[in-house]
Amino acid sequence: MLGMSMTTVGLAHYLFVSLVLLCLGLFCVLTRRNAIGVLMGIELILNSAGINFVAASRFGSSGFDGQVFAVFIIMLAAAESAIGLAVVLGIYRRMRAIDTSRLTTLQG
Amino acid sequence: MQALRWIVLLPLIGAAINLTLGSRIQRSVGRAGVAVLGSGMALASFAIAVTGFLKLRALEPESRLLLDNVLPWLHVGSLNVSLAFQLDPLSAVMVLVVTGIGSLIHIYSFGYMDEDPALWRFFGLLNLFLFAMLTLVLGDNILVMFVGWEGVGLCSWALIGFWYKDHANTAAANKAFLFNRIGDFAFLCGTMLLFWSLAGLGHATLVFRELDTVVGLLEGQALWGVPVATLATLLLFIGATGKSAQIPLYVWLPDAMAGPTPVSALIHAATMVTAGVYMVSRLHCLFSLAPFTLNVIAVVGTTTAIFAATIAVTQHDIKKVLAYSTVSQLGYMFVALGCGAYAAGVFHLVTHAFFKACLFLGAGSVIHASHHEQDMRRMGGLRTKMPLTFWTFLVSTMAIAGLPPLAGFFSKDEILLKAYQHDPLLWGVGLVTAGLTAFYMFRQVFLVFFGESRAGASLDPHASAHAADHHGHHVHEVHESSAAMTLPLVLLACGALTAGWLGIPSALGGNNLFTEWLSPVFASGGEHHGVEHEGLELEYALMVVSVLVALAGITLAYLVYLRKSLNADTFSRIARGVPYRLSFNKYYVDEFYYGTVLAGTLALSRALGWFDKVIIDGVVNGAAASVRAVSILGGGIDKVVVDGLVNFTARAFNGVGGALRLAQTGNINAYVYVLLIGVTAVLLAGAW
Amino acid sequence: MTAADVMFFVLAALAIVGAAGVAFSRHILYSALSLMVALFGVAGLFITLSADFVAGVQVLIYVGGVLVITLFAVMLTQGIQNVAVSNRAVGSTAAGLLTTGLFVLLLRAMAKAQWVRPSGEVSAQTSTAGIGNALLGQYVLPFEVASLVLLAVLVGAVVLTRKETAE
Amino acid sequence: MEHFLTLMTFLPLLGALVVLVLPRGNANLVRWTALVSTLPGLLLGVWLFQHFDRSVATMQLVERHAWIPAFNVQYLMGVDGLSVSMLLLTVLLSPLCILASWGIEKGVKGYFALFLLLETGMIGVFSALDFFLFFIFWELMLLPMYFLIGIWGGPRREYAAIKFFLYTLIGSVLMLIAMLALYFANTPHTFDMMVLMEKAPTYSHGFQAWAWIALFIGFAIKIPAFPFHTWLPDAHVEAPTAISVILAGVLLKMGTYGILRVCFPVFPLATQEYAFWALGVLGCWNIVYGALCAMAQKDMKSLVAYSSISHMGYVMLGMATLTPEGMNGAVLQMFNHGTVTAMLFLLVGVIYDRAHHRNIDGFGGLASVMPIYTGFVTIAFFAALGLPGFSAFISEVLVLLGTWQYSKPLAIIAASAVVLTAGYMLWMLQRVWLGPVNEKYAGLPDMNWREIVTLVPLTVIVIVLGVYPHAVLDLFGPTLVALGDTVSSAVPAAAQAVLR
């Protein structure tokens, strides 16, 4: 199945793990009503992307490119969570809530 | 000659200083400061003009031309125009009149405006006017002339409305400017026609001395079936009727009397209004090509002359009488031009400048002394209280009435002679006008200076109560004006007495210096010298007739207004008073113009304004209607259909937006849903 | 099955379980802790991919940084007293269906894809030096941009969270 | 000066960034910074004025870099006489407008940053030679304008801003379509305007026709030509003073500039075909219609707005003639209208700042209250009604002269507007400034130094150009002669074949 054997761990394994993480992250983003929860879901999605990069780098022939991108992803994730959480805090301070179903000021 | 530009520039500098820093000068140096600056510039300009004149006279008659090329102005395509000034015998005459009389009026103004807080503005504008007028007469091409032409319009506007707090004055100012502009519009069209017609012949030029040589080529050219020369001259003449107050554009001039009296004297009697006469004489080569236009000019001139004279007979306002008299006299000048007697027209222009300026200043002196009373029915008996004013006024009145040997006699007779040679009918009308002129001018003299003082007298029921109140309390204060005012009066009266001697015709033993001086200019224009072959008898006869007619007019005035042996009312009741009312109400021309042209324009403007706001902005009925249909279908009746297509577009966007808005829940999760569904759909489409 | 493979399966399980915890936990604090587990798992996976530097970064930044601020945020927004607040999930069914659908789709895409294998066996190299060279060589510009981004984030975070002055 | 134009274009943007990072509390610092950041542009403009080669019609100071090579989009800037005059106008008006905006209190930083962004957009439009770049700058201008009207405007600002935005956007869409059509009409595909011009003879007649009309409508909205003009009075009435100045002084010129820059050289045949109706007759109609509508207005600003419509008609009419007189007159009129109308709007702004309304019938006798102000008003009004001695006279006379040769009836109708213009200008002057003093406004202070400083340069220019118009005329003379020749000498491809 999918070129995945129990004996040699290859690219497909990693991709599978990454896919599971992605889907869980998405699920998290979709269902959470807590803004911080949503952010955590995004972290998961980013991590899954990171796994993909590093795996591709390991099993491909493009040197360290993948790893470099993984580093960038981590960096971006950090930036994103810092800002995201700051925003959440700001919102909380203003509206005393971080429940996304109540944060609908942007409704058109 | 470089000095020419200074004739023009000095008044400009004076104007610039007075209009910008004048109020400070007036505060720190005093009223005399601004007056000296203004008058000094005018006098300096006059001095340069005199030297220019002397220089010109020293030259051979054929080569009398001084040029000053200041600056290349416009050189685009085939248009090549410089800011350049020229002094030839014709412009020399004009310059001397403008700067000479202008200087005197500057001096007079210092006395007349002695109570006005904005003296600096007055002198600034007077100087600006001199600048514009001098540009007009010195400009060496039509475009530079046009600068002056419109410039004098501006100054006239500003000076008529000098006392701008009174609504009537500003209305008169605007009226003057607008009627002038109508003329300017025609002038511009005429210029363009002339320019392109000549350009088509390979001589694109607007320079007068070049025009003189090339306009002959226009013969045989036609536009829309009309000879180009005729069309162009007609258009230019309409311009002249605007500036020189001829039918049909004369109505602004009587209203222009709202300005201070020195302004009326300088601008609306002596100089600006003669611009049309100057322009026609300047372009006489062109006008001579168009006999039809000349006939039109002669007819318009005579009609205006008698028309204005009949109005002047019934007016009560001392300045209104003079204003209509000016219109009438300008008509005379145009008669001369129409008869091809350009020199005679210019001669009358010069003499008229002297006596009419003197009359206006005299009237101003009276008005000033009687504290801005202008109604002649409340004057009278001023002869003894204001002797200098009286004598100068009388001299000028005799001059305008055409009594020998005063200035008006010679110039008017020359015109009447030329008119007779051209068409006896013109002469007849001119003669009647002369009689009327003598009558109404002496009516004025008798009413103002003779008899008992009627100061403060109540008028007929038509007069406004306000005027009576206003004048009740200074009955006794009338006295002669100050030297600053009487000196110019005396000088001008001397001019009115003697200016005519420049042009004593050969029939009376003179040699008509004036015509001779101008002959190099008009030689090329085909001026006919018809005097010799008609014989001297005719000339004498005409002179005698005209003097007799003038005396008759004076006698009538004497009988009616001084001896009172004839009652004025009997005249005004002729034919149930219709002629009197027509004359008194100026033939209702103003009302006619207001009712048709002005009201029409305003109505059109309002209609278009409405059209723009409601129709265009509400665009196309169809679009609006369709929007309405859509909104009715939608269940709501829309009231704001008017704003139309624009708003329809907006509404369409709004509708789509409203639909899309539903998607815009503001809920993050919902957005992610949409995103994911989209991604899945793409994957489904791609991968399956 | 080598030891490395065992390692992989253990770590993968760790990551997936952690992720599931994040996604399904009812308590936001538990979610955060599960996230930590998942992140550690991913870091471990990086090691098995001989990307030791990335793994180090992952641990340092994520576990040490991101997670800590997340926890802080949780505390700050909920108040220390009642951390046991809801982390309720709504519309799980629809979301579950959608994600499952996506999962299947992507899995299928993965299976169908023609993976290009490098010809020779790729040797695992020590990555730190290589990444260092790459970062300061080929990727120097993105690296600098990244540093700017971080700077902006720093400033932005400060601006956003500072005490609001009266306006 | 290799990057002259780039420098000129983007210096204001730099200023905008600086303005944005300034502390919020210090409004004066923001104002001064904004003013200072427009000054280099002005200095560069002066340099350009002195060093611009007036004898040739070719592009100068050209900068060419590949930008998006995949689509052959270039960063291509350059100026000829036409653009130089417009650039000068822009850099001249910008600092004056900043001075005129001194009284803005709401969102000072945002206002000045947007204003500087707008300046970058305007300079960019006038110097871009790549159609794509031109379009980018064109759109770049739109956005700040929208916000400047929509946020800092009068009571109906949102309506006016949206109207402005929608109108201009429709124009942009048409322009975009024509631009892409041109791009694909050439192989290799290109946006390079100079190449587009060279290839002009190869475009088919049908293509020229519809593309010309699309472009024309796009530009006509900006001019604004009847019947696309109704956004203008609304936008003017609602916009703050300085924005009105920029709108009338520079933005309207972009319409006519675009026609001269794109429609004329790229589609000479279509220009020959449509110029009479689309530019000549419509321009003439604009002149008379705008003047009559102006007469009916009750708001000073909307009166001036309609007078703009009227005056821009001269530009269209002059362009239509293709004669050197007409075209020079048209471009000079663009410049003069920029300065004169700027004066008018600044002056209306002065009274609006004091009385907080602009109702023509609500004043009276301001001349006694504010003499200096009235002096400037008189100069500006007489300049606007084309009095000789002021700059607008020269351009109007040139346009009329050119038109007379082109079509006499049009010239006569256009010339008749001198009476109408005098009518509404003087009438307004009489109602607001002359007459008895309205006691309600007897205590208004006269102009302050800042206001005088904004008006004096314009006054000087208006007078100097009336006496020595060649200071500006020389800039674009050769360019326009070349342009006129290009258009009038173009012959249809079929005829070309016969000629060969």
Of the spans B232-241, B466-475, B641-650, which averages the highest pLDDT? B232-241
Domain C-terminal end among B534, B561, B584 = B584
Q: Report the C-alpha gap between D256 and D220 in whole angstroms.
A: 8
Q: Tell me, what amino acid is at B623?
A: A
Smallest Cβ distance to B174: which of D231, D400, D430? D430
Give me the residues of B, 410-449, that contact D with CB < 8 A. Answer: none
Q: What is the mean pLDDT of residues D134-151?
A: 89
Residue B385 pLDDT class (50, 70, 90 cuts): confident
ipTM rounded to 2 decimals: 0.67
Q: What is the mean pLDDT of residues D195-224?
A: 88
State the pLDDT at residue C90. 59
Task: Residue B669: list chain C partners with CB under 8 A.
Answer: 90-91
Least Cα separation, residue B613 to chain C (angstroms): 42
For residue B276, what are the CA distances in angstroms to B133, B149, B279, C56? Answer: 12, 9, 5, 99
Burial tier of D102 (Cβ tally within 10 Å: 0-12, 13-18, 19+): buried
Smallest Cβ distance to A40: which of C16, C35, C54? C35
Q: What is the mean pLDDT of residues D276-282?
A: 90
Q: What is the mean pLDDT of residues D184-210?
A: 86
Task: List the end-to-end C-alpha distance of chain D, in Å, as a whole number.
Answer: 44
Q: Which is it for the CA torsion D152, D153, D159, D162, positive or negative?
A: negative
State the pLDDT at residue B637. 38
Given an 8 Å threshold on Cβ–Cβ distance, is C103 in contact with A9? no
Task: Residue C110: list chain A partners with CB under 8 A.
Answer: 2, 12, 15-16, 19
For residue D396, what are the CA distances in angstroms to D198, D287, D317, D415, D475? Answer: 32, 11, 10, 9, 18
Q: Report the C-alpha gap between A30 and C101 in whole angstroms.
A: 14
Given an 8 Å threshold on Cβ–Cβ distance, is A30 in contact with B665? no
User: What chain D residue is nearest to B611 in terms of C-alpha separation?
Assistant: D293
For residue B178, give its domain range: 141-457+478-584
Given an 8 Å threshold on Cβ–Cβ distance, is D400 in contact with B23? no
Of the spans B317-321, B636-640, B643-647, D343-347, which averages the highest pLDDT? D343-347
Adjacent-strand bridge partners of B80: B75
B675 close to A (CB below 8 A) = no
A54 close to C (CB below 8 A) = yes
Adjacent-strand bridge partners of A34: A99
Given an 8 Å threshold on Cβ–Cβ distance, is C54 in contact with A70? yes
Q: Report the C-alpha gap between B640 and B627 in whole angstroms.
A: 10
A101 close to B (CB below 8 A) = yes
Q: Going by beta carbons, is chain A in contact with chain D, meaning 3 or more pairs sit under 8 Å apart? A: no
Helix (H) or strand (E) holding B174: helix B167-200
A28 close to B (CB below 8 A) = no
Residue D158 pLDDT class (50, 70, 90 cuts): confident
Residue with tokens 């700027």: D342
Helix (H) or strand (E) holding B66: strand B66-76
Residue B527 pLDDT class (50, 70, 90 cuts): very low
Q: What is the mean pLDDT of residues D399-420?
A: 90
- Which of B339, B306, B342, B348 is closest to B325 using CA atoms? B306
pLDDT digits (tens, 9 = 90+) for B162-189: 988 888 888 899 999 999 999 999 999 9
Residue with tokens 């429940």: A99
D397 close to B (CB below 8 A) = yes
For residue B384, what are the CA distances in angstroms to B129, B381, B387, B390, C166? Answer: 36, 7, 5, 8, 86
Residue D459 pLDDT class (50, 70, 90 cuts): very high
User: What chain A residue is nearest to C58 in terms of C-alpha separation?
Assistant: A74
Angle between helices B142-160 and B167-200 (to 10 degrees): 170
Is D180 a residue whose pLDDT tops 50? yes
Residue A104 pLDDT class (50, 70, 90 cuts): low
State the pLDDT at residue B473. 46
Least Cα separation, residue B659 to chain C (angstroms): 24
State the pLDDT at residue B628. 47
Q: Report the C-alpha gap between B584 and B589 in whole angstroms.
A: 12
Check whether residue B634 and residue B657 sit in a common domain.
Answer: yes
State the pLDDT at residue B644. 57
More confident residue, D151 or B572: D151
CB B49 within 8 A of CB B8: no
Adjacent-strand bridge partners of B593: none
Residue B661 pLDDT class (50, 70, 90 cuts): low
Q: Tell me, what amino acid is at D255?
A: G
In chain B, % of residues over pLDDT 90: 21
Going by C-beta distance under 8 Å and a sequence separation of 6 or more, which residues neighbour residue C4?
A9, C48
Smallest Cβ distance to A101: which of B661, B667, B676? B667
Is D343 a residue whose pLDDT tops 90? yes
Given an 8 Å threshold on Cβ–Cβ distance, is D467 in contact with B83? yes
pLDDT digits (tens, 9 = 90+) for A14-23: 889 999 999 9
- Which of D215, D272, D278, D189 is closest to D483 using CA atoms? D272
Given an 8 Å threshold on Cβ–Cβ distance, is C66 in contact with A71? no
Helix (H) or strand (E) holding B250: none
Q: What is the mean pLDDT of residues B629-657?
A: 55
Find the length of chain D: 500
User: Right CATH number for A35-99 from 3.40.50.2300, 1.10.10.60, 1.10.287.3510, 3.40.50.300?
Assistant: 1.10.287.3510
What are the boundaries of each domain within chain D? 275-489
For residue C151, give its domain range: 133-162
On whether residue C39 sits in a domain, the answer given is yes
Phi, psi of B569, deg, nearest 5: -65, -30
Adjacent-strand bridge partners of D76: D64
Count contacts between B and C (CB, < 8 Å): 23
Least Cα separation, residue C25 to chain A (angstroms): 10
pLDDT digits (tens, 9 = 90+) for B536-577: 788 888 888 888 888 988 888 888 888 777 777 777 777 777
Check whether residue B414 and residue B403 sit in a common domain.
Answer: yes
The segments of chain C whose pLDDT lies below 70 read 1, 77-91, 116-126, 163-167
pLDDT digits (tens, 9 = 90+) for B103-125: 999 999 888 888 888 889 999 99
Is B643 a residue whose pLDDT tops 80? no
State the pLDDT at residue C84. 43
Is B47 a residue whose pLDDT tops 50? yes
Best residue in C98, C100, C104, C110 for a mutation probing chain B (most B CBs within 10 Å): C98
What are the boundaries of each domain within chain A? 35-99
Q: Tell me, what amino acid is at D10?
A: F
Given an 8 Å threshold on Cβ–Cβ distance, is D411 in contact with B195? no
Domain C-terminal end among B140, B175, B191 = B140
Smallest Cβ distance to A107: which of B664, B672, B676? B664
* Burial per residue of B578-616, b for 16 or more beta-carbon CB atoms within 10 angstroms, e otherwise: ebbeebbebeeebeebeeeeeeeebebbeebbebbbebb
Q: Report the C-alpha gap between B210 and B12 in whole angstroms.
A: 28
Find the length of chain A: 108
User: What chain A residue is nearest to B668 in terms of C-alpha separation?
Assistant: A100
- Which of B137, B138, B136, B111 is closest to B123 using CA atoms? B111
Best residue in D387, D433, D488 for a mutation probing chain B (most B CBs within 10 Å): D387
User: What chain A residue is nearest to C162 in terms of C-alpha separation?
Assistant: A90
CB B661 within 8 A of CB B682: no
On whether residue C151 sits in a domain, the answer given is yes
State the pLDDT at residue B622. 42
A30 close to B (CB below 8 A) = yes
The CA dihedral of D301, D304, D310, D316, to the nearest 10 degrees, is: -90
For chain B, the chains sharing at least 3 beta-carbon pairs closer than 8 angstroms are: A, C, D
Task: Residue A63: list chain C partners with CB under 8 A.
Answer: 130, 134
Smallest Cβ distance to B676: which of C90, C102, C109? C102
In chain B, % of residues over pLDDT 70: 87
Least Cα separation, residue D196 to chain B (angstroms): 28
Residue D6, number of CB atoms within 10 A of its CB: 16
Going by C-beta distance under 8 Å and a sequence separation of 6 or more, which residues neighbour residue B291?
none
Is D152 a residue whose pLDDT tops 80? yes
Check whether residue B129 and residue B188 sit in a common domain.
Answer: no
On whether residue C107 sits in a domain, the answer given is no
Task: Residue A104: list chain B partners with CB under 8 A.
Answer: 665-667
Helix (H) or strand (E) holding D73: strand D73-79
Residue B525 pLDDT class (50, 70, 90 cuts): very low
Q: In chain C, how many domains are there?
A: 2
CB B434 within 8 A of CB B550: yes
Is B12 a residue whose pLDDT tops 90? yes
B524-538, B572-586, D14-28, D202-216: segment of lowest average pLDDT: B524-538
On whether residue B472 sits in a domain, the answer given is no
pLDDT digits (tens, 9 = 90+) for B615-638: 777 663 344 345 446 545 544 333
Check whether residue B511 and residue B377 sit in a common domain.
Answer: yes
For residue B625, what are the CA distances in angstroms to B361, B634, B639, B652, D371? Answer: 68, 14, 12, 15, 51
Least Cα separation, residue B650 to chain A (angstroms): 16
Residue B666 pLDDT class (50, 70, 90 cuts): low
- Which of D384, D423, D417 is closest to D403 using CA atoms? D417
Q: Which two tokens stand for residue D498?
A: 């016969």
CB B439 within 8 A of CB B557: yes
Which SS3 state, helix, strand or coil, does residue B224 take? coil
On whether residue C87 sits in a domain, the answer given is no
Q: What is the mean pLDDT of residues D102-127?
A: 91
Is D344 a residue whose pLDDT tops 70? yes
Q: Report the C-alpha gap between B151 and D385 in whole angstroms.
A: 12
A85-94, B130-139, D253-262: segment of lowest average pLDDT: A85-94
Q: Report the C-alpha gap between B4 and A108 in whole angstroms.
A: 75
Is A105 a residue whose pLDDT tops 60? no
| DSSP code per residue over B470-538 | HTTT-GGG--PPPHHHHHHHHHHHHHHHHGGGGG--GGGT---HHHHHHHHHHGGGT----HHHH-HHH
Question: Do strands D60-68 and D73-79 pair parallel, antiparallel, or not at all (unpaired)?
Answer: antiparallel
B683 close to A (CB below 8 A) = no
Q: Report the C-alpha gap between B427 and B539 in whole angstroms.
A: 13
Residue B128 pLDDT class (50, 70, 90 cuts): very high
Query: What integer best gives the mean pLDDT of chain B?
Result: 82
HEC profile for chain C? CCHHHHHHHHHHHHHHHHHHHHHHCCEHHHHHHHHHHHHHHHHHHHHHCCCHHHHHHHHHHHHHHHHHHHHHHHHHHHCCCCCCCECCECCHHHHHHHHHHHHHHHHHHHHHCCCCCCCCCCCCCCHHHHHHHHHHCCCHHHHHHHHHHHHHHHHHHHHHHCCCCCC
Domain C-terminal end among B98, B125, B140 = B140
- Which of D205, D321, D200, D206 is closest to D263 using CA atoms? D200
Task: Residue A37: list chain C partners with CB under 8 A.
Answer: 28, 31, 87
Check whether residue B56 and residue B185 sit in a common domain.
Answer: no
State the pLDDT at residue D258. 92
Task: Residue A88: list chain B partners with CB under 8 A.
Answer: none
CB B497 within 8 A of CB B395: yes
For chain C, the chains sharing at least 3 beta-carbon pairs closer than 8 angstroms are: A, B
Smallest Cβ distance to C32: which of A24, A32, A40? A40
Is B215 a residue whose pLDDT tops 60? yes
Q: What angle do CA A96, B673, C112 make, to 5 degrees?
A: 140
Phi, psi of D63, deg, nearest 5: -120, 130
Q: Which two tokens stand for residue B385?
A: 């209280």
B259 close to D (CB below 8 A) = no
Check whether residue B292 and residue B168 sit in a common domain.
Answer: yes
A4 close to C (CB below 8 A) = no
Least Cα separation, residue C145 to chain A (angstroms): 11
State the pLDDT at residue B626. 54
More confident residue, B213 or C162: B213
DSSP, res D64:
E
